[in-house]
Amino acid sequence: MALLKIITYPEKSLSHPSAKVETIDEKIHELIRDMGETMSQESGVGLAAPQVGVNKRILVYNARAADPEDDGSEEKITALINPEIIEASGSYLSENEGCLSVVDFRADVKRYETVRVRAQDINGRELAFEARGLPAVIMQHEIDHLDGILFIDRISALKRAMYKKRILKQIKEARAS
């Protein structure tokens, strides 16, 4: 297994929709293992393939992230291939949402309280499940990545503009030094 480089905003590839996975082979399995290791190393609860430079509809997440009984000592990494939200309901405020690709920024984001997701597992079997609360937020956040959407695209234009200005200033300063 290998740690992968996480791509960060303003990298343009993060705004491109991902391609459907047609064949689940050993390369895909290796990518999933590497994504899981990378997500764990970075203390994330989810990671989408575009965040590591792979334009494929794959995500991994910690299925225990919302378990109040879990002390955080053991993760359960789950992979979804070609996931899509097929139903959504309710309203939920994802407080202080962050992203491994949006460095040093957190914001409140309006999300659905419940989502129904359809996907394939690592063996290509079709599955469907319902997620509520934090797991629903994780699904929406990671599937947004697969659709070329960052969470900052879902906040106010003013907050987004302030973040973009700060990041562009940091990039300019780094290039100057």
Active-site residues, by number, are 142
Look-up: residue for tokens 């053991």? 74
> Is the previous residue joined to 135 through a cis bond, with omega within 30 degrees of 0?
no
Rounded CA separation 87/85 (Å): 6
Identify residue 117 by its one-letter amino acid code: V
What is the rounded CA–CA span in Å between residue 108 and residue 172?
28
Contacts with 146 (C-beta within 8 Å, 6 or more apart), sequence order: 17, 18, 48, 49, 50, 57, 58, 59, 83
